[in-house]
Structure formats: C-alpha cells, structure tokens
Structure 1
Amino acid sequence: MRIASFAVAVTGLTALPGALAWGAAGHEIVATIAQVYLHPTVLPNICHILNFTDPNPNAPLCHLAPVSTWADRLRFRMRWSAALHYVGALDDYPGQRCEFPGERGWAGSKGGNVLGGIRNVTGLLERWGEGETGEEMASEALKFLVHFVGDMHMPLHLTGRDRGGNSDKVLWGGRQTNLHSLWDGLLIAKAVRTVPRNYSLPLPYPQIEGALRGTIYDSYIRRIFWEGLLNEWVDEKDGWLACPTPKEVQQPQGALQQLMSLVGMNSARDVAGETDDEFVCPYAWAQPIHKLNCEIVWPKELDEPPYTHMRIAEERERRSRLVDTHDPHSHSHDEGLTNSPDELLGAHLAGPQPKYVELDTPAYSGVITKKKVVEKLLAQGGIRLAGVLNYLFADEGMGIRQL
C-alpha cells in the first residue's frame, strides 16, 4: 500500500487528540540508541534515502534522532495518519480487563493502527531495496518507521482506554496533568534531571559517543547504556529481536472464534498473521509492553471512589462539549459502568470535590524508577529499530551491531 493511500485504510477511525508517544525527547532517545547498533553499511543508505547533505566535508553522517518526531510535527497536515500512532482493542480496559486484542479484535479498520503501520512502511522499504519504491516515498516510509517503533514502546499507545490515558487527570509534584502526559514526557524529564554527574563524562565506547548529539539527555542515554544495555540487560537484549512462530503467538480459540473461522471470517486470534513474520513482528513485541498497562501504568486509585465518580463526570462533560461542537472524534467509554452518568454526575456535584491522585510518590514513580521500566522500554525500542533497519539495509541482514 502506498503511503498516500493510507488514508483509505484509516477512514472512519477515531483519532487520539493530544497523544504523542514519548514526546520529542523519548523518540530521539530511541533513535539515538538505534543508531549505536546500526551495521556500518546501513547509515549511508539511510542518509541517501533521507537526502541528507552537509556542506561541511568533516561533518558526521546524518542522525536518525532529528527525523524521529517528523510524523508528530506533520500529523495535523496528514490527518489520515493519526490512527497509525496507536492501537486499541475493543475488549481492553486496564487494569480491569487486559486484552490484546480479545475476541472482538482491534478498534477501527484492519491494519489501521501502529502495528499495521510498522508492517506497511517496512514493506515499502523492502521494495525500495528492490527498486520498486521511489525515493520520496521511501523517505516518508523511513521517517514513519522510526517514529512508529518509538510509539509502539509507549504502553499507553497500546490501549484505547480513556483515549490512551489522556482523559485521566492526575497530579505530578502537586501540578495537574494527565496519565498520558506523565508517561509521554514527565517521567523522562525527572529521570534526566536526576542522572548522576559522572554520566556527563564520555563512555569508553566511540560507537556510543559518536551517536550522541550534545543534547540535554546525553547523560541519560549514557546511563541507559552503562546500567542497562551493557550490564543488567546485556544477556537479554538480543532476545528482544526474536520473532516467535505463528503458532506460538496465536491466542486460544474460544467458541466464537472457532465459529468465525468455520464461516471464513477473520478472528482476533490471527492478528499476528496480519503484521508479523520471522524477522519483523510488532504484535509479538508489543504484547509484553501492553501488559504493563495492567501491571504498573494504571494506578488502582483511578478505578476506586471518589476518583471514579469524578473521572466519569468529567468524561461525560467532555463528550457533551465535543458533540455540541460536532467534533467527529468524540467517542464513549461508558461500558461496564454500574451507575448511569447522570447518577454519577449528581453524586460528584453533591459531595466534596476529591483531589486528583498524586503519582510522584514512592509507591508509583518510585517503583517505576527502581525497576527501570521507562529506560528498558526506550532501550527495547532502540534495539528493535536498529534490528529492523539492519534487516532492511545491511548485507548481514537482521541483527544488531555488537559494541
């Protein structure tokens, strides 16, 4: 499918306003880590596709990081691409129901999500290597690929609950934000501010230092390498590229799925077959990332009174405003409620106004920091992006360059 024809595939899908996975810093960190692990023959091909030129003959080769946010910067000009930044399952509602995707499958059109986007642009770049994709299309496909792989490693872009957490107001250091924004950038910002000073010094790895760009988060990247990729995760990072066989990733068949198979209808159990192969498998890679939404991302307080009442009342008011303005992207998440929105709204207005949940606490952000959850997601994104790019452009094929 051509990049320009993605619009056909995503017609009618619900956009996710304000959802920018990882923000600029997170996307650039993923891209920088990926660049470290590229085979030597890959970067010249990437620079050629991006039409990178520099009048300075001593300038280094191009960097992936600056193009990693291109898809977000132009998303309002390319509204057809909005749904390709995330994926939502109709049966999913962490932390009450963790389904990826469950019997009803994905929301929206087939292939019109971040998993399908990765599959699609990878195919375009494969055909560029065979001379079947033009330079302009290959350039856009490459920039989408760099961005979509980053998106996939932000857990809230793998669930449709509450617009990926955008509707869930929380506190961070006493200031109001939302759950999506917290994971989008605030956790990374705090981590960058608290990096020990010794990581401002160069590491004894020219390959790492050559990929850094003098940014404020260089020390944070060094920490991810030194504490994670070169130590704690050194024996598992190669496994992050593994793609299971189709039988290994198929979900168990229920009665409804068996019936659908008998009558020739697509079922949720075959979602891996739509996107995954032996070298590039976004669905398989995304499964454990999605589980984090139920295990650590969604605070249990968000599903307990009095916050539950307040959240539902605010969501009802938001939808009312969207309907009044005829916003085409308004949608509902009222399923599973035991009280009507009117009852909950009345209870909310009649009682004391509860405070939002504070998440800059040892019990929430402290656990995330201790387990290096964000750092590992950024590292996995970088490793997998490097693996896909090496598969596409290196003579050696799939894999990562060893330090």
Structure 2
Amino acid sequence: MKFSAWQALLVAALCLLPSVCAWGIAGHQIVATIAQTQLHPLVREQLCSILPNYTQYPSHWPPSEDVLPRTHCHLAVLAGWPDTIRSRYPWSGQLHYVNPVDDHPPTQCYYGETGWTSPNNVLTSLVNYTSRVVTETGWERDMALRFMVHLFGDAHQPLHLTGRARGGNDVWVHFEGRKARLHSVWDTLLINKEIRELSNYTTRLPSGRIESALVGARYDPLVRFILKEGLGQPAIRGDVGNAWWRDESASWPACQGHASVSDAQMLEGEGQLAFSSMVEDPSRVDDTDLPICPYEWTQPMHSLVCDYAFAAPVPAWEPAPPSDGDDSEPSPIPFTEPELDVPEYVGRIERDKVIHKQLAKAGVRLAAVLNTLLLPDESVSTLSD
C-alpha cells in the first residue's frame, strides 16, 4: 500500500512524543481512532481549533463538489500524551485509575459500595476534564481534551478499576514465554497479540467515513476488524445482523439519569462534601449535566477484573505491605510465574472478545460525548459512509 505525504507525516506524528510508539500507547491510539471514525465531520474540523497543527490532515470525507479536501485533526496523535508527562507531574498519576475500598478480586469484588481510596481518580477526572473541554480556552482546553481522550481509554481497561496489587503491577506472570507484569499484559501484550495475529482487514473498507480516519498505522486492520465484525460498520445488506454488538452498541453512550445542575455544581464546588457523598453513594460522580456517567459505565465492567483479569492461573496472594515508616512501593510478588497464554486464560479473553469490546466501547462513548459537546445545534448529527 502506498502512502501519500500527509499520511506519512501523520503516522510520524503518532510517534512524535517520547514513548508514544510503545505498544502500551497503542490501546489509547486505537480507542482514539475508533472515536475518530464516529465523529461528525464538523467536529473533526472543530478539533483543529483545539489541538496543535501537527494533528491536522486532509480529508475527502464527506465528498463534496469542492476540489480541495477538508482539514481535519486526529485524536490519536496525542492520545498517549498524559502518560508521557507523569514523571514531570506526579500529581497526575492517580487520575488514571480508581481504587475501590475492600476490593480484592476475584474473591471479593467491591466497586464503590464502601467508597474509594481517593477522590482524585479516573471517574472524577473524566468529569473534570470533559467539563474543561467546554469551559476552557487555549492551552488549557487543548490539555483537557488530551486528558479526556486518554482517560476514556484508561476507564475501559479493567485493571485501572481495581487497587489489588496496584492494578496488577505487583503480580508477575509469563506471557508468550516472557516474564511480564499482569498490568502490562492487559495494557500492552494482549493488544499486541491481537494486532500481530490478525491476518486480514488490510484492504480498505467501502466507507469514506472510516477510511478517512485511518492513516496507515499498524493497528488499522484491528480497527477495521472491530468496526466491521463488532459494530457492523459499514452496514452491508445481508450481513449486518452478524455483527457482535450492533444492537447493544447504540446504548453504550447512554446515561440513565442525571441530577440537577445545582447538584452537579455542588459536586464540583464542595470537594470534601462531594467525596463524602460519593462514599455513601458512588454513583454521585455521575451527578453532572454533562453527557457522561463514568460510574454507570464502569460499574458493570468491574466484573471483568474478577472474571478475567485475576482469574486462574493468576495467583491469589499478595506481596507483603511496606513496614511502618517505609514509603517505598512493595516489590512484585516473587514466585514461579504462571504462563497466561493458555486456553483457560487468554483463550477465554479472545473467545469472548473482551479486549475488542472494551476498545470499541471506549471509542464509541468518546465520539458520542465529543459530538454532543462540539457539534453545532443546527447541524445534523447522523453520520453517513
């Protein structure tokens, strides 16, 4: 496949920042690319008023009589940015996950029933940065969008929803014969395996909407696979019913109910009171007038932590906690690491399309929120291929 000059530049931009080409970032870029395929063209254009110039690329979708292509901006270029700044801004580290109190999968699965270890977590941060995409300007708005895109990905990675062994970072296993942390298996290695073993979907789909968002990245075939087999996009007469989540995906961005705006303002303006309320009712984080409900979305996904991530042969025991006065992190658990690339572990994940579905959910929800926030009221929101 030949690439135009702009495609080569955009692929290079995906690797512009330190660590952005690491496979751990690929998951965030896939989520952002799936979202890009679902954005209204006017929203793609509006992103260019928020993001830096090097995210721009020419797009011929939707087709028009105008010879010149439109200028769109791509979310994937900066999807990994919040991970690259964590060493410079240590305060941002806790924003990438949520630790439920008393949660110890797979034997004890709690998700907010007895509270959170900190009010600064991925759920509250999603509300915060989504709000700031609307209210901020200039660099602050750019930064808020980068965090928003990234945190949608983190919230859909099951091991970002538990504090057991620091989200699996303190559990050593083997994957495909190599030693790895359990967290890295879910962040990186499972996605790497899916990309490497997918032998088709290198051919363009008959959809300008989808293909205009794919710029020649190595994971493009996986994005096509998820959209076609999972969501039935583009819809082709005779086989749309075969898509895995075609019917249910329309409800993924929905929020069953929001509190009044005054309640939302209370949540944002009275930090300690709001956190106390969240301990009593974890769904209070969803009390906002924004089109986002992070607790409602993530609460059902927490079962993946117990049913898949910490399932056998992952060991059930923990490292010893630090002694009094020792602030160091516990060392990873020393034991004979089990191999996870076996039918009873990875085989179940692949059979049940767990990784595919989490990437799809995150991308569809991210796009729906951005379309709602950024699409002019008078515009038609229906997408066409």
TM-score category, normalised to shorter length? 0.7 to 0.9
- Residue identity over aligned pairs, in percent, reads 40
Task: Say if 1:228 and 1:155 are closer, same or farther in 2 by CA, change over 3 A.
Answer: same
Of the candidates 117, 120, 124, which is equivalent to residue 128 of structure 2?
Answer: 120
CA distance 1:59–1:77, shift in 2 (3 Å): farther
Matched, 1:25 2:35: no
Alignment counterpart, residue 390 of structure 1, candidates 361, 371, 381: 371
How far 1:64 moved relative to its partner?
0.6
1:368 aligns with 2:361: no
> Does residue 229 in structure 1 map to residue 237 in structure 2?
no
Match of 1:153 among 153, 156, 169: 156
Partner residue, 1:380: 361
Structure 1 residue 173, shift from structure 2 partner: 1.6
Equivalent position SS for 1:61 = strand
- 2:73 counterpart SS class: coil
- Answering whether residue 336 of structure 2 is matched by residue 355 of structure 1, we say yes
Aligned partner (choices 63, 73, 93) of residue 62 of structure 1: 73
Unaligned runs of 5+ in 1: 1-20, 128-132, 248-263, 334-344, 349-353
For residue 22 of structure 1, report the CA deviation from its aligned partner: 7.8
- Greater CA deviation, 178-187 or 389-398? 389-398
Between the aligned partners of 2:126 and 2:373, the Cα distance in structure 1 is: 13
Structure 1 residues 390 and 267: alpha-carbon distance in aligned structure 2, compared to 1, 3 A threshold: closer
CA-to-aligned-CA distance 1:72-94 (integer Å, 9 cap, x gap): 11111111111000000111111
Could you say which residue in structure 1 is the equivalent of 2:217?
A: 215
Counterpart in 1 of 2:143? 140
Corresponding position: 1:299 with 2:300: no
What corresponds to 1:288 in structure 2? 300
RMSD across aligned positions (CA) = 3.0
1:147–1:383 CA distance, 2 compared to 1 (3 A): same
CA contact (8 A) 1:241 1:399 kept: no
Kindly state the Cα deviation for residue 137 of structure 1 after the two structures are TM-superposed.
Answer: 0.7
Which residue pairs with 2:235 in the alignment? none
Do the aligned partners of 2:113 and 2:281 also contact (CA within 8 Å) in 1? no
Q: Deviations over 1:186-233 (max 9, x none)?
A: 101111111123x11111111111101201111111111111011221
| Structure 2: gaps of 5 or more residues | 1-21, 59-67, 233-242, 260-274
Q: What is the CA–CA distance in structure 2 between the aligned matches of 1:379 and 1:269, rounded to whole Å?
A: 31
Q: Which residue of 2 aligns with 1:81?
A: 92
Q: What secondary structure sits across from 1:76 in the alignment?
A: coil
Would the aligned equivalents of 1:32 and 1:65 in 2 still touch at CA under 8 Å? yes
Could you say which residue in structure 2 is the equivalent of 1:204? Answer: 206
Q: 1:191 aligns with which of 187, 191, 194?
A: 194
TM-score, normalization: structure 2?
A: 0.78
Relative to the length of structure 1, the TM-score reads 0.75
Counterpart of 2:50?
49
Maintained 8 Å contact 1:170/1:178: yes
Letter in 2 for 1:148: L
Shift of 1:101: 1.2
Q: For the residues of structure 2 that align with 1:244 and 1:36, how far apart are their CA atoms?
A: 25
Which residue does 1:256 correspond to in 2? Answer: none
Amino acid at match of 2:283: A
Answering whether residue 101 of structure 2 is matched by residue 90 of structure 1, we say: yes
Query: In the alignment, is the contact (CA less than 8 A) between 1:387 and 1:399 conserved in 2?
Result: no
Helix, strand or coil: the match of 2:48? Answer: helix
What is the one-letter code of the residue matched to 2:129? V
Report the Cα offset of residue 151 of structure 1. Answer: 0.5
State which drifts further: 266-275 or 232-241: 266-275
